[in-house]
Amino acid sequence: MKLYSYFRSSAAYRVRIALNLKGISYDTVPIHLAKDGGQNRKPEFRAVNPQMRVPVLAISSGDVLVQSLAIIEYLDEVYPEPPLLPADAVARAKVRAVSQIIACDIHPLANTSPLRYLKNTLGHDQPAIDAWYHHWVLEGFEAVEAMIRPGPYLCGAQVTLADLCLVPQVFNARRLKVPLERFPKIVAADAACLKLAAFDKARPENQPDAE
């Protein structure tokens, strides 16, 4: 398998954790989202993914999969061990809900595209952009913190899809100096995950394209 990735992309980070947990070996194709005006915007990459985003997983059949949660659900269906979703339908819905609060309600607003729009198109300064970023992370983390039970992981005793969404978002939040004291359960789940080799190996700083 070939993963088109950028070391700092939260969405690529989620997929790297999934591949590591499943024990799937893969080659990284680094796509730098800032260098050369964004390598993701070059025609070569647009031919791979019309949305011009990472991650993209190219599998042995020649199929090319996009969107991190779709890729992870695919991996979980085809490589079921260890499972990233519980067996019970209600429990699965709860794990997916926590995952989607992060992947739909925090990350898209805190991602580089809207931050660039705020800066370049709307002319905001860094403090206003940081306040926007903090706002969405804090609002989303408040909901997650209120929804989860004691861990060690975000949804209980097993690592789930929700942890794969959490750890990259916490990494990102720390990089942008969001105070996390109000979220002891989130901080504890993040720490528990990062003790696992699959998470550690997926960290941005451990990628071949890390700067």
Contact footprint for a copy of itself (CB under 8 A): 50-53, 59, 61, 63, 65-67, 69-71, 73-74, 77-78, 89-90, 92-94, 96-97, 99-101, 103-105, 107-109, 114, 117-118, 121-122, 124, 128, 131-132, 135, 140, 142-143, 146-147
Minimum distance of a copy of itself from residue 197's CB (angstroms): 26
For residue 194, give the amino acid letter: L
Least gap, CB of 147 to a copy of itself (angstroms): 6
Question: Cβ 113 to a copy of itself, closest distance in Å?
Answer: 8
Output 52 or 194, the one with its CB closest to a copy of itself.
52
Tell me how far apart the alpha carbons of residues 28 and 5 are, in angstroms, rounded to a whole number.
6
| 92 versus 203: smaller Cβ distance to a copy of itself | 92
**How near is the Cβ of 210 to a copy of itself at its closest, in Å?**
25
Take residue 92 and report the two structure tokens written for it. 């699965």
Strand residues in 33-89 grouped as ranges (E): 56-58, 64-66
Q: Report the amino acid identity of residue 158.
A: Q
Alpha-carbon dihedral sign for residues 99, 192, 137, 126? negative
Spatial separation of the C-alpha atoms in residues 184 and 32, rounded to whole Å: 34
18 close to 71: Cβ distance less than 8 angstroms: yes
Task: State the nearest-atom distance from the C-beta of 78 to a copy of itself, in Å.
Answer: 5
Tokens encoding 28 = 């990284």
CA distance 125 to 145: 30
Toward a copy of itself, which CB reaches closer, 17 or 71? 71
The residue (of 83 and 194) whose beta carbon lies closer to a copy of itself is: 83
Pairing of the two strands 56-58 and 2-5: antiparallel
Complex with a copy of itself: residue 36 or 77, whichever CB lies closer: 77
